[in-house]
Amino acid sequence: MDFRYSTEQNLYRQAIREWLTKNLEPRARAIDEAEDGIPDDITAGMAELGIFGVTIPEEYGGLPLPEDERLIYAMITVHEIARADLSMSTPVYTLLTLGWSYMINRYGTEELKREILPLAAQGKAFVGINTTEPGGGSDLGAIKTTAIWNDDKQAFLLNGEKAYVSGPKECAKLGPPSGHCTLVKTDPASGHKGMTFIWVPAHLDGIQWTVYDDMGRMGLSTGGWIYKDVELPRKYVLGEEGKGFYAVMDGFNAARVLVAAACLGGAEKALEISGEYTAQRTTFGKPLGKYEGISFEMADDYMMLDMVKLNLQRGAWMIGQEHTNPGTFSRKEINKVISTCKCQAPPLAHEIARHGMMYHGAFGYTKETPLEMLLRGVMSYEVGAEGGLMVMRGVIARDEWGETHNPFKD
């Protein structure tokens, strides 16, 4: 048992940290304030480093990495990007493409993979997730969007509405084949067994989108989608028709690894900022760090951060092992570890940001520090993105104690 990153993983981490510290970190505030997306030269530089290809096989333009380590490399990647951009804009942009490219490779048809993955690896296509609807997000079984097969057109006809989805402006900017892995009902009478996971390119006829005005992650757009008789060929189905619920749950576990990595990367950087400030700022003749009310709170934050980081590394390793050697771990085993990390990481990052702002006093309430960007950014993962915190607790209760503790069923 070895808790250290491999030599190769450490070299990769060091290389991207150096580039991100030099090129992304100085521009994070401008990205947040401009609200105009991630600059092209940033995404181009990230693509040149191979960042967008860590979850994509070499045959589709990705990096030549061991298959069971791809999610670990993705976790390292997102963690480092979040250290450089505390607004969470660039980390979330990246984790979406990494996480859902990973699932396209796992579930997509050969034709679909060749259409999307090479451009995603080059940073020239946006890959996102689309499940939430205006009536709710966590209760996926209650979605109303349908995609009914039409023999005459030899296509599924997609109709419905989705909400709170990342990337409408990014899809429009990058163009085809950008789009989203989307959960629909292909057999509405069959409940969750009539659900299908399917790729929906954003540029198809019959699609309209809007943009919301969020409080954080200002460099990444969020919006809603309306579909009216959008034609989707069968090659876009991810996995098996009628088994989309299980495919999307598998995808969410991988995505939640990266969400937690983003939160922990930001939290780690924020704690470093607090450590530096409380070491040099003095009151009553001594550094702020000498006051136990501050240093002990920082120690508590460090302990929690360290424990969640280790658990997340375990979770990414477990998923990699299960995907390359099916049967290594049960779905319940993976669910509990990943749900724990997703439940703990966002509020921990929020608290570390808030604590740091308080250590900075009035200065912490200004935009002269990046801590408020982190607080705004991670809130998106507290309120529900990629799974609400109470839903994570429900998953843990169900999978640990069984149906007597399952809040999702009567």
pLDDT at 13: 98
Tokens of 122: 């080059």
Is 180 in contact with 166 (CB distance < 8 Å)?
Answer: no
Q: In residues, how long is the chain?
A: 410
| Residue 254, phi then psi, degrees to nearest 5 | -65, -45
pLDDT at 142: 85
pLDDT at 265: 98
Q: Is the pLDDT of residue 137 over 80?
A: no
Tokens of 300: 């508590």
Read off the pLDDT of residues 30-65 as tens digits, 9 standing for 90 and up. 999 999 999 999 999 999 999 999 999 999 999 999
Tokens of 4: 């250290």
Q: 260 Cβ partners below 8 Å, 6+ apart?
A: 308, 312, 338, 341, 342, 344, 345, 346
Is 281 in contact with 288 (CB distance < 8 Å)?
Answer: yes
Give the residue with greater pLDDT, 298 vs 135.
298
Read off the pLDDT of residues 76-91 as tens digits, 9 standing for 90 and up. 999 999 999 999 999 9
**Average pLDDT of the residues of the chain:** 96
* Domains of the chain, earliest start first: 7-126 (1.10.540.10), 128-238 (2.40.110.10), 246-405 (1.20.140.10)
pLDDT at 230: 98
Calpha distance 344→316 (Å, rounded): 16
Q: Is the pLDDT of residue 200 over 80?
A: yes
Tokens of 206: 């019959």
Neighbours of 304 (CB within 10 A): 17
For residue 288, give the DSSP letter.
Answer: G
Q: Is the pLDDT of residue 141 over 90?
A: no
Q: What is the average per-residue pLDDT within 330-343?
A: 97
pLDDT at 410: 81
Give Dmax over CA atoms of the chain in angstroms.
Answer: 81
Split at pLDDT 50, 70, 90, the class of 386 is confident
Calpha distance 63→70 (Å, rounded): 9
Calpha distance 198→153 (Å, rounded): 17
> At CA 341, angle to CA 300 and CA 372, rounded to 5?
60
Split at pLDDT 50, 70, 90, the class of 409 is confident
pLDDT at 47: 98
Q: Is the pLDDT of residue 345 over 80?
A: yes
| Residue 286, phi then psi, degrees to nearest 5 | -145, 155
Q: Is residue 139 classed as helix, strand or coil in its secondary structure?
A: coil
Query: Helices 70-84 and 89-107 meet at what angle, rounded to 10?
Result: 170
Calpha distance 140→147 (Å, rounded): 15
Is 192 in contact with 129 (CB distance < 8 Å)?
Answer: no
Q: Is the pLDDT of residue 258 over 80?
A: yes
**H or E element that contains 263:** helix 244-280
Residue among 82, 103, 104, 83 at smallest CA distance from 93 = 82
Calpha distance 115→270 (Å, rounded): 39
Calpha distance 83→377 (Å, rounded): 13
Q: Is the pLDDT of residue 285 over 80?
A: yes
| Residue 153, phi then psi, degrees to nearest 5 | -90, -10
pLDDT at 2: 82
Report the sign of the C-alpha dihedral through residues 212, 214, 218, 224, in that order.
Answer: negative
Q: 122 Cβ partners below 8 Å, 6+ apart?
A: 47, 52, 61
Q: Is the pLDDT of residue 136 over 90?
A: no
pLDDT at 191: 85
pLDDT at 293: 97
Calpha distance 64→62 (Å, rounded): 7
pTM score: 0.96
Q: What is the average per-residue pLDDT within 136-150?
A: 88
pLDDT at 19: 98
pLDDT at 3: 86
The number of angstroms, rounded, from the C-alpha of 205 to the middle of its chain's C-alpha atoms is 28
